[in-house]
Amino acid sequence: MRCFSCDNLSIEPICQECIKEFLIPQLIKKEIGNLEVISFFQYSNTAEFIKSKYSDSGYRVYKFIAQRYFQPFIKAYVESFKDRKIYLIGVDENLNREYSNIAILTHYGAKENRAKALHNVLKAKNKVQYAGKSLEFRLENPRNFIYSGPKNIKAILIDDTVTTGSTLEEASRVLKRNGVEVDFALTIANAIEGTDY
């Protein structure tokens, strides 16, 4: 197998050299309204990995990121509560190519720990693309999420990137109205406002 980033031979989808150069977690916290968003990286360092979702090789990249970063982080968080069940809810698990990059993060984030992934329960009625769009555009064109999962639960909201936070904030409001208490949102990357992704 070859490294997604540098094309050198590698056992993993991303080689150790590229991990050292691009994927050393920083744990960036961002407050969006009443929602805390935790990201592992700055978008500028991980843009090529985030954009892999538009290619067939993105499945391997997202699975690698989910297993290496999301899974241990979520496991440590869930284990800090004795009898509390935590659910993972992905933001609009749409299919890109033959897979959903958000579903991969949600699925592998819940593996080997007490978190439970709830797939395809938070869907956007408005399928507008936000990549490269301003905050004003995003606010004028909300996703209009519909939630169809269980109520009276605690959850972590999962997405790949936070830019303005409008999507996560809207998703969090919809979940709250449906009896879901969101502990925080977890993303791969924190993007500078207005960055194209």
In CATH, the number for domain 24-190 is 3.40.50
**pTM for the complete prediction?**
0.91
Dihedral (CA of 181, 146, 159, 135) sign: negative
Kindly provide the residue ranges of all beta strands, DSSP E only, lying in 3-74, ordered along the sequence: 28-32, 35-42
pLDDT of residue 84: 84
What parts of the chain have a pLDDT lower than 50?
A: 194-197
Are β-strands 35-42 and 180-190 bridged in parallel, bridged antiparallel, or unpaired? parallel
pLDDT of residue 97: 61
* C-alpha distance across the termini of the chain, in Å: 26
